[in-house]
Homo-oligomer: A and B are copies of this chain.
Amino acid sequence: MAKLVIVGSVALDTVKTPFGHVKDALGGAATYSSYAASFFSKPGIVGVVGPDFPKQHLELLQKRGINTEGVAVDKSGKTFRWEGYYEYDMNEAKTVSTELGVFASFKPQLPQSYRDAEYVFLANIDPELQLDVLRQVKKPRLVLLDTMNYWISNKKRQLLDVVKRVDVVLLNDAEARQLFETPNLVKAAASALKLGPKFVIIKKGEHGALLFGDGSHFSAPSYPLETIRDPTGCGDSFAGALIGYLAGKNTSDEKELRKAIIYGSVVASFNAEDFSLERLKRLAAADIEKRYKEFERIREF
């Protein structure tokens, strides 16, 4: 098992969907992705919280073998809070409020013990901070990058600078179209690959995911979920399980990357079944393997 480090937000989410609501529930990209990764490897996370952050949340992660040494407690403010809701079609999160709190001045500091990480997931944060993280790791074998539309609109140059330095870029379809200014996902992926990454993964929500590499293409099937209670964290669960699987196997070849995408899809599909990390907390390795087999069957022809 190779060393994996995940850098991103740790948050308290207030979420409402047609199927329920939660207040100040555990959330954040680093939280979801490290929890998802913990089914396959033992990640260390880097993030920041305020003194208001409940201790049991960190203990929950620690119990999963997640190293939380890199989670700073900043006494100058409150934990990052996000409030949002989903309408009936559950496709898009609508933000009610974002209180950055201590996240506003977040400067990721990797503990010495993290700096020889071989696998790194740069979850969605300011691309300048992502670059700063890359300067702190010695010689990673595989860096996975995530981002969001806000950085494409506001720090595109810096974001493209990060894209050039990573191995795998993760975008959803709208982000890919926006970043590379084309409605055609094949063209967007080709533009991304020209910048340097070996692979581009385009997430299409309920429609599955696409992998583009040098001359290769993989289309991961979507999983037919009848019960979607809260899609918050699905993208992060996908990314976390994906890189967790690769770190667990200590590989980065395309064959394993395809499997990693399916494991990512499997864990994300479970995550959508309940609020916050509730479904992942009840998830067993056997559940994951069972649904992985279902993914094999649904793509068979």
Give the distance to chain B from A187, nearest Cβ to Cβ, in Å. Answer: 6
A210→B184 contact, CB < 8 A: no
Interface assignment of A185: CB less than 8 Å from any CB of chain B: yes
Q: Is the CB of A219 within 8 A of B208?
A: yes
A220 at the B interface (CB under 8 A): yes
Q: How far is the CA of A101 from the CA of B187 in the complex (A)?
A: 41
Known interface pairs A204-B207, A207-B204; A220-B183 also in contact (CB < 8 Å)? no
Smallest CB separation, A3 vs chain B (Å): 26
> Which one of A48-56, A158-166, A221-229 is at the interface?
A221-229
Beyond A219-B221, A220-B301, 7 additional pairs, beta carbon < 8 A: A184-B226, A185-B206, A186-B225, A190-B226, A217-B224, A219-B299, A299-B301
Closest chain B residue, CB of each to CB of A177 = B89
Residues B219 and A187 in contact, CB atoms below 8 Å apart:
no
Asked whether any CB of chain B lies closer than 8 Å to the CB of A262, the reply is: yes
**A-side interface residues toward B, CB under 8 Å?**
88-91, 183-187, 190, 204, 206-208, 210, 212, 217-226, 228, 258-259, 261-262, 295-296, 298-301
Q: Which of B208, B261, B262 contacts A207 (CB 8 A)?
A: B208
Q: Which residue of B lies closest to A295 (CB)?
A: B301
Tell me if B186 and A224 are in contact (CB < 8 A): yes
Q: Is the CB of A258 within 8 A of B185?
A: no
Q: Give the number of times this chain occurs in the complex, counting copies.
A: 2
Cβ of A300: which chain B residues have Cβ within 8 Å of it? Answer: 218, 258
Residue of B with least CB distance to A263: B301
Measured CA separation A210–B226 after assembly (Å): 14
Cβ A301 vs Cβ B258 within 8 A: yes
Chain B minimum-CB-distance residue to A183:
B89
Closest 7 CB pairs of A and B: A219-B221, A207-B207, A89-B183, A258-B301, A186-B226, A186-B224, A299-B299
A11 to B34, CA, bound (A): 56
- A191→B178 CA distance, assembly (Å): 36
Residue numbers in B under 8 Å from A186 (CB-CB):
224-226
Q: Which residues of chain B have C-beta atoms less than 8 A from A224's C-beta? A: 185-186, 210, 212, 217, 219
Residues of chain B contacted by A185 (CB below 8 angstroms): 206, 224
Pairwise interchain contact B228-A184, C-beta atoms closer than 8 A: yes
Could you tell me the distance between the alpha carbons of A226 and B261 in the complex, rounded to whole angstroms? 23
Q: Is B207 within 8 A of A298, CB to CB?
A: no
Q: Which of A90, A218, A224, A298 has the most CB of B within 10 A?
A: A224
Name the distance in Å between A198's Cβ and chain B's nearest Cβ. Answer: 17
Q: How far is the CB of A256 from chain B (nearest CB, A)?
A: 9
Return the chain B residue nearest A292 by Cβ.
B301
Q: How far is the CB of A49 from chain B (nearest CB, A)?
A: 35
CA–CA, A219 and B294, complex, Å:
11
